[in-house]
Structures are given as structure tokens and as C-alpha cells.
Amino acid sequence: MTAVTDEKLDKQARKILRDNDRGGYTVPTSGLYPYQWNWDSMFSAWGIATFDVRRAWFEITTLLYGQWDNGMIPHIIFHKRAEGYFPGPDVWAVERVPHTSGISQPPVAATMIRSIYESDKKAGRVHMELIYGRLVSWHRWWMKNRVQDGMVAITHPWESGRDNAVDWDSAMQAVDGSNVGDYTRRDTSHVNPEMRPKKEDYDRYLALVQFSRDNGWNEKYIAEHAAFRVADVGMTFILLRACRDLLQIAADLDHDTPEIEGWIETLEAGVANHWNPEGYYDSVNLRTGEFTGSLSSGSFLCWYAGVDPPEMMSHLKAILAEVRYGVPSNDPRAETFNPLRYWRGPVWGMMNALIAIGLKDQGHTLTAERLRKDTRELIEDHGFYEYWSPVDGTPAGGRNFSWTAAIWLTWAG
């Protein structure tokens, strides 16, 4: 890789983030995802901060416009009308402005914001002071409503950010998708349907939205009665990491820390409950108490959360030996593996960034570097795609993707 090509890709990455700017918030990609998505937006802010830190703070502020009074930060903020995505605000039927979805998404915000703040300590302090309380109330919402036995529960596969991952297969069997009525998907008109979740998945996704909507997004009721409730191993690791970063922010701003320290203790204890006796971190179907039997990319976020069992490194090495480009979102030796179907096999650049950050923190620098090199090559050879085949690098999903551009500027490039 020459410096000239590097510069060209840097320029392209910045252009993608600017082109995907809708006036204060960044869409994941034009067409396929025309609104502000929670974790995408925080990756975007991280990337934008490398060339326009004021705009990065604004990105964070617009995400927080969508925060509910109970602290929840929704997975989509529908700031203004846009065509081409289903389900839109009418399906979620959340009565507030701006309209939002009714579920959340992986809380990478505190981690990304800490990094932006570290790079903009002086001028950024005023922003940090302003949003700190909102971050705390979001974390408090997770701890109060979603933490069970120290593990983070999701109420919908979309909440995990890893929509059709194998982790949800067994739990989704209990969801009846046969009565959701007629609807028209829009995703399959933007990208190849073979690279997206199947119709039977979508029927169930909608059934879960309708159930929670019809029950007024009441967390207590949903916790007791919804068919689907899974302790997501990726989510537990992400929240644990985010709490550690929030603690550092709190200390820096001179705020009290015992509450956050308590959350960290709870989640650290919960990590043990994700340990499948087969020898790896796994999600747990909370309706049956059974492990989901999936060694997926969520499991490999352990290092990102500061957890480093030798077994996980052996698994990662075995999996990396099977594919040309790591980390696949599903175990390539599993029957369910599909190299192009979304979260059932493809490699995702932003997951690689999180996994590699963790590996590096824990001193596994060579493996972290392999992930960076793989990701660089995928972007250099094909462009800023949503995801790729880990087998041969075939690009898939949306093009000119914001978080792929962001991780190029911050980590891969």
C-alpha cells in the first residue's frame, strides 16, 4: 500500500461520511438505510472526529434528541421523512418527536465518545459535560430493565445489531410470524435478497415489533410475556466496555463513580454466565435457560470487554485458519455458515475494529494486526462495503457505508 493510495482512500472515506450527512446526522448508507441508526451513528462520529470534531459532537447531539424520558436511546431516529425503508415510523407507532423505533442497539456510544473527547479535551469538555447525564441515564436504563443474572437481554434480534445471527435461531422458533399481515420489504429492492434475512425471519421480526408496540413498549410487560428474550453475549461485552469508558469519563469530569463501579461489578459477574461448558462464550435463551450453541462474532468481543480466557484465543485462531479474511460473523465449520448472508457468515469491518481494539488492549498484537490487514485489503480491493465474504472477499450489502468509512479513518487505514 503506497501513501498515495492511502491518501486516495482517506479522501474517499471522508467523502462518504460527508455524502451520507443529512444535516446533523449521518445515515448508514444512502437508499438502504435512510435514517439515523444508533450504533452506526456513533461509529460515524468517531470517523468524522478525525477531520471535523465539531461535526462529530453534533452527530452525538442529534442521536440524543431521540432519547426517551426513561433513558432508552432508540435504535433508529426518524428525524425526517425518507423513502425506501421498512418498517418506518408508522409501524413502530412511538408517540414522540422525533419519531423513533421502540428498541435500542449496542451501546458503543460511551466508548466512541470517550475516544472523541480524548482527542478534543479542551474544547470538547463543554460537550462532554452536556451529554454526560444522558449517557448515564441510558446505561441506567440497560441495568434496570435488561440486565438479568449480570447478562444483557435483548427483546428483538434488531436490537443486537446482528439481525439474523445464529445466536437467535432457537429462540426465534418460539415466535409466531404467521399473523403479521401483508407488508412490503424495501431492503430486498436495494440489495440482493440472497444477502439479506429470509422472509420467515422478517415475519418474526415484525411479530415482535407488533407485540411490543401493542403493549405500549412496556419493559416490564415485555420482560414477562414476550416470546423472545435472549441474553446477547455481544451486548454484555459491549455494555461492560462502555461502562468502563463511562467510568473514566466520570472520573475526568469529577462526577461520583460508585454507581458505575457497581454496574461494572454486576456485568463482570454476568460474563461467567455466558460461558458455555463446551468451552466458549455464548448467548443464552432466557426463556429456556439454554445456551444458543453459537460461536459467533459476538463471542469474540470478550477482549474488548477486558476478558481474556485462553480458550477463546484458540477458537479465534482455529476460525481464522479456515478463512481468508477474518473475523467471520459465524463459525465457518458450522452447518449454518453462509458466506454472504448478512450475519450468518460475512465479515464486518466495524466488528473487526472492536475485536481488534480488544485484542490489542490485551496484548494480542499480532492477531489484532491480522484483522487490521484483512480489513484494509477488503476495503482496498473492493471499496467501502457493508460486509464481505470471509472466504474470497466478495463484497456484499450496501456500498459507500458510513461505518466502514469511519473505521478506515480511525483504525484500518
Closest distance between ligand 9WN and the C-beta of residue 51, in Å?
A: 21
List the x/- string, 56-95, binding to ligand 9WN by CB under 6 A.
-------------------x--------------------
Of 163, 245, 331, 374, which is the active-site residue? 163
Q: Contacting ligand 9WN (CB under 6 A), which of 25, 37, 263, 411?
A: 37
CB contact at 8 A, 330 and 343: yes
- 182 among known catalytic residues: no
Q: Could you count the other beta carbons within 10 Å of the beta carbon of residue 82?
A: 15
Residues 117-176 that bind ligand 9WN (CB under 6 A): 158, 161, 163
Element (H, E) at 245: helix 233-253
Cα within 13 Å of Cα(179), Cβ side: 5
Q: Contacting ligand 9WN (CB under 6 A), which of 26, 34, 40, 339?
A: 40
Q: Does 234 bind ligand 9WN (CB under 6 A)?
A: no
Residues 386-405 that bind ligand 9WN (CB under 6 A): none
Residues 335-354 that bind ligand 9WN (CB under 6 A): none
Q: Which long-range contacts (CB under 8 A, 24 or more apart) does 119-122 make?
A: 119/49, 119/53, 120/49, 120/53, 120/57
Q: Does 35 bind ligand 9WN (CB under 6 A)?
A: no
Nearest to 45 by CA among 65, 19, 24, 71: 24
CA distances from 23 to 38, 73, 126, 355 (A): 16, 20, 22, 31
Q: Does 39 bind ligand 9WN (CB under 6 A)?
A: yes
Q: Contacting ligand 9WN (CB under 6 A), which of 33, 58, 132, 263?
A: 33
Closest distance between ligand 9WN and the C-beta of residue 279, in Å?
A: 28
Contacts of 386 (CB under 8 A, 6+ apart): 28, 29, 348, 396, 397, 398, 399, 401, 404
Size of the site for ligand 9WN (CB under 6 A): 10
Of 159, 201, 374, 386, which is the active-site residue? 386
CA dihedral 331, 337, 339, 340 (to 10 degrees): -130
Nearer of residues 47 and 161 to ligand 9WN, judged by Cβ:
161
Q: Could you count the other beta carbons within 10 Å of the beta carbon of residue 51?
A: 14
Closest distance between ligand 9WN and the C-beta of residue 39, in Å?
A: 6
Distance CA 215, CA 41 (A): 28
Closest distance between ligand 9WN and the C-beta of residue 161, in Å?
A: 4
- 386 among known catalytic residues: yes
Instruction: State whether the Cα torsion 116-117-119-120 is positive or negative.
Output: positive
Distance CA 238, CA 302 (A): 9
Enter the C-alpha cell of residue 63.
442521536
Distance CA 270, CA 284 (A): 12
Nearer of residues 37 and 92 to ligand 9WN, judged by Cβ:
37
Q: Contacting ligand 9WN (CB under 6 A), which of 20, 26, 28, 329?
A: 28
Binding range to ligand 9WN, per CB under 6 A, among 18-26, 37-45, 135-143, 267-275 = 37-45
Nearer of residues 81 and 225 to ligand 9WN, judged by Cβ:
81
Which of the residues are catalytic?
A: 163, 386
Residues forming contacts to ligand 9WN in the complex (CB under 6 A) are 28, 33, 37, 39-40, 75, 158, 161, 163, 187
